[in-house]
Structure 1
Amino acid sequence: MQSIARIPFFQDIQELDLDKYGHRCTWRRYNQNEIVVDFEDQSDDVFFILSGEVRVQIRTAAGKEIILADLRAGQFFGEYAAIDHIKRSANVTALSRSELCIMPAAVFMEILFASPAACGRILRLLTGRVRELNARLTEHSVFDLKHRLYAELLRLSQPRHGHAGERVITPPPFHHVLSARIGCRREQVTRELTLLSTEKLIAKTRGALVILRPEVLEARLAHALSEDA
């Protein structure tokens, strides 16, 4: 039997005997492009990613798909359905061969009610997701295409090791993925990235997209917000 103690969310939780919950979970591997959960599924399990990567996306009434997030090992999804038992609002597909721990909603809720530490963690995570959704809503309400792209590039990036002030996205995002994340056409993303490259604000290296001057993008976003105020 595998132990949920190796899942980051449950690490350092001292007040629970985690071993007694492991046998109530399912451990499963998914192949690349395999659907983990689909739109309007009635399931309410919580999925903890042990290895690999998955993509979360929603479908509009018109059939357009919008990418919400790419999740990696150590992260999890499905907690909304476990809490409110409403059918799935998003599709989750494996981007690579992945291993997941599938925890029934009853087990997840039992842990939260029994452990103040686990409950606190989920509350902080949910609060963070609400804040991120609020930020995205603001971006779509206030920013034009290019400013939404600036915001998404900064959100996806991490500080570049050994290059003070620079940020990097590894691996570099596909243009059609960026377009699905900010709600536009792929050709529009390609045009804006070309302009940023011409301005020497971004550069493509082997295996990464480098934001050379993130402070410029941040200043442009701040200026756009001030103009809308």
Structure 2
Amino acid sequence: MQTLARVTFFKDVADLDFERFDRLCSWRRFNDGELVVDYEDESSDVYFIIAGEVRVLIRTVAGKEIILGESRAGQFFGEMTAIDGAKRSANVTALTKSELCIMPAHVFREVIFSSKTACDRILRILTGRVRELNARLAEHSIFDLKHRLFSELLRMAHPRPGNAGELVVTPPPFHHVLAARIGCRREQVTRELSALAQEGLIEKTRGALVLVKPGVLEARLSEAMREGG
């Protein structure tokens, strides 16, 4: 059933008339590799991800693309344009087959103004995104390439089941994708990953990149932060 009640963002939101707002939204499926929104689009819809995964990236004036990250089921995007009416500042492309709930900007604003629960939730999410962007800005200002890579790997990783103390990035990221995330060339990422593997700090297994000693990477980041500060 196509209803906002399926959308993770609205879980436990009791002060909203779902039946009314359901009629104002639409649902659409996207194939992997399909463009969802592009730079400077004048559309202003908000997209809630029901299933699948999308990639968000920006393009510099010189044409260089920088990956901001991936968004998965339960997350949403497009709220900035819905709030301020500016053109799209990023490109969003489906990485896998995805299903999205599309909410017009005026409906999104009405939802936020109608529900204290939803309003509080969106404020917290937006604050978290600002904090993350601030952290990334600090990293690019303070860290060299090697330490930016450490930080990005730790950010992407999650605990490895059955192996206490180890983290895993799965599926293993392509080198050109890591390069686009931290602002460098693919060859530089390949070189740094090879150095980490030689130190025994990472290893590649079938379907995953394992951070064998994430504590070492964290310690090196802390030292670099102290030196940069």
Band the TM-score falls in, shorter-chain normalisation? over 0.9
Q: 1:17: Cα distance to partner?
A: 1.6
Q: Deviations over 1:85-142 (max 9, x none)?
A: 1000000011111111100011111111111110011001000000000000000000
> Contact 1:59 / 1:65 at 8 angstroms: preserved in 2?
yes
SS at match of 2:87: coil
Q: How many residues align?
A: 229
**1:117 matched to which residue of 2?**
117
Distance, in Å, in 2 between the alignment partners of 1:123 and 1:5 is 20
Q: 1:188: Cα distance to partner?
A: 0.3
Alignment RMSD (CA, Å)? 0.8
Instruction: Show the 5 A alignment for 1:25-104.
Output: 25-104=25-104
One-letter code aligned to 1:176: H
> Contact 1:5 / 1:19 at 8 angstroms: preserved in 2?
no
One-letter code aligned to 1:27: W
Distance, in Å, in 2 between the alignment partners of 1:106 and 1:15 is 18
Q: 1:171: Cα distance to partner?
A: 0.6
One-letter code aligned to 2:193: L
Distance, in Å, in 2 between the alignment partners of 1:155 and 1:204 is 17
SS at match of 2:184: coil
Q: 1:212: Cα distance to partner?
A: 0.6
SS at match of 1:44: coil
Q: 1:31: Cα distance to partner?
A: 1.2
**1:207 matched to which residue of 2?**
207
> Contact 1:38 / 1:91 at 8 angstroms: preserved in 2?
yes
SS at match of 2:154: helix
SS at match of 2:227: helix
SS at match of 2:127: helix
Q: 1:162: Cα distance to partner?
A: 1.3
**1:135 matched to which residue of 2?**
135
Distance, in Å, in 1 between the alignment partners of 2:47 and 2:88 is 13
SS at match of 1:27: strand
One-letter code aligned to 1:54: V
| TM-score scaled by length of structure 1 | 0.98
> Contact 1:145 / 1:184 at 8 angstroms: preserved in 2?
yes
**1:171 matched to which residue of 2?**
171
Q: 1:78: Cα distance to partner?
A: 0.3
**1:21 matched to which residue of 2?**
21
One-letter code aligned to 1:26: S
Q: 1:151: Cα distance to partner?
A: 0.2
**1:155 matched to which residue of 2?**
155
Distance, in Å, in 2 between the alignment partners of 1:90 and 1:210 is 30
Distance, in Å, in 2 between the alignment partners of 1:75 and 1:225 is 31
Q: 1:61: Cα distance to partner?
A: 0.1
One-letter code aligned to 1:185: R
SS at match of 1:119: helix
Q: 1:23: Cα distance to partner?
A: 1.2
One-letter code aligned to 1:5: A
SS at match of 2:100: strand
